[in-house]
Amino acid sequence: MKTDRGETLLKARTGFIRTKGERMPTQSCEADSVSGSVSQRACVYCGARVVLNPITDAVHLVHGPIGCASYTFDIRGSLSSGAELYRYSFSTDLKEQDIIFGGERKLAAAIDELVQKYHPPLVLVYSTCVAGVIGDDLEAVCRAAAQRHGIAVLPVESSGFAGNKSEGYRVACEVLMRLMEAGNSPLPAMEPGINYLGDYNLAGELWIIGGYLRRMGVKLNAAFTGDSSLKALQTAPAAAFNIVQCAGSMGYLAKRMQERYGIPFFHVSFLGLQDSADSLRLIASATGDEEVMARTEELIAEEAGQAEPFIQAYRDKLSGKKAAVYVGGGFKAISLIKQFRELGVEVVMIGTQTGRKEEYDEIHNLVEDGTVILDDANPAELERFMSRQGADLLVGGVKERPLAYKLGVAFIDHNHDRKHPLSGFEGAVHFAREVYHTVCSPVWKYVKQGG
């Protein structure tokens, strides 16, 4: 496949890249990465760790070589209001001898040492590529440790090669189901509230949305998994309904909880003014309580009223600019198209690591003709289409940042590494301010001149 600059893309990647308005087959997605394409997508272990790491009172023990354990709180933006144990990334640090003779004894000893030192209520043991290849029996080691210590010790079967990041999400959701099952026979009798699935309390975003819910009079049982604890997660089965933000990581759990506990769910998004207002109204209407609905309207009027003048001011500066977006999941991509529209910015390239078919259909309907849509892209594709489409800005994560800077294009971090909240009405103002600061920075004209 040739781009308009004559560069060749991998033939097997053709179906994963579409241009709206051109006659092309349906978008390929939800597949393993093409061999030879250096995918931006993370491994199974990373997908599982994204979901489970914000359980703040757990020991997160990585059974593998030390490199896999580089994933720690301190390169992630998920915050805690209580326990800090999740900030560590413990590792069994497997070496050649362990690979030859097996690492089960070393793992059991590591669990014993950590339990004696930190007294956690929960230990999560992550499998990695090496642990999967040598075939250590994590289930058996964890079961024996749980009996020895009288706490929950669960394996996370997340060997990196066993699929892609989406498989890691599914594995993590199964672990969450086991945690809920372990704490609930019989189900706790409590006032029904709601669970918030797919928020990881990045830079305190859960606290912003939790504040809205409190003002509306809606009780939050548990968040999955931002700022959560074992005890909080085990109250989740008593909820009246689930709201799901990141459907890519938590859609599976929502379906499992509906099957197992009969808890209905619906999707929400708190990115941008319109999505935030629509989502709060959806929640209020699902409670069926007219007082909640009235309080919600007051809240929206107040919060949107404060945010709109700022958004308008940034819109005046940003109108006509072009954005490229490459993010983890489809929900965020869809919300960003709408949020950029609020700022007068057109999305000219958009892609995800783990988007699903129905999400790509919605993306396709939302964008203008000529927009390039990519699934599971590699760096060469992102650079080529960013340049071809004339993007002024790239929205992505830590792996995409250098691609933008090399091209002299502005960048916004919308991944789990960031340290500023982008959710709700105040998050929309932060986002608009950041887009303005980076796109309108005078530095780009010097970078381009220098290049």
What residue ranges bind ligand SF4 (CB under 6 A)? 43, 45-46, 64, 68, 128-129, 160
Q: Residues 277-281: contacts with CB within 8 Å, 24+ apart?
A: 277/304, 279/243, 280/212, 280/216
Nearer to ligand SF4, 70 or 441 (CB): 70
To ligand SF4, the closest distance from the beta carbon of 46 in angstroms equals 6
To ligand SF4, the closest distance from the beta carbon of 247 in angstroms equals 23
To ligand SF4, the closest distance from the beta carbon of 59 in angstroms equals 18
To ligand SF4, the closest distance from the beta carbon of 43 in angstroms equals 3
Nearer to ligand SF4, 66 or 187 (CB): 66
Nearer to ligand SF4, 68 or 145 (CB): 68
Nearer to ligand SF4, 126 or 212 (CB): 126
To ligand SF4, the closest distance from the beta carbon of 139 in angstroms equals 18
Pairing of strands 152-156, 122-127: parallel
To ligand SF4, the closest distance from the beta carbon of 210 in angstroms equals 32
What are the DSSP E strand ranges found in 117-160?
122-127, 152-156
Nearer to ligand SF4, 129 or 247 (CB): 129
Nearer to ligand SF4, 43 or 107 (CB): 43
Q: Name the nearest CA neighbour of 129 among 174, 163, 154.
A: 163
- Give the residue at shortest CB distance from ligand SF4: 160
Rounded Cα distance between 431 and 347, Å, is 15
Contacts of 247 (CB under 8 A, 6+ apart): 198, 254, 267, 329, 330, 331, 356, 359
Tokens 């060469």 locate to: 380
Q: Using an 8 Å Cβ cutoff, are 4 and 388 in contact?
A: yes
Contacts of 444 (CB under 8 A, 6+ apart): 408, 409, 410
Nearer to ligand SF4, 158 or 225 (CB): 158
Contacts of 179 (CB under 8 A, 6+ apart): 122, 152, 154, 230, 233, 234
DSSP state letters, 172-221: HHHHHHHHHHHT-SSPPP----EEEEEE--BTTHHHHHHHHHHHHT--EE
Nearer to ligand SF4, 109 or 133 (CB): 133
Rounded Cα distance between 182 and 442, Å, is 56
To ligand SF4, the closest distance from the beta carbon of 133 in angstroms equals 10
To ligand SF4, the closest distance from the beta carbon of 94 in angstroms equals 11
Question: DSSP assignment, residue 121?
Answer: S
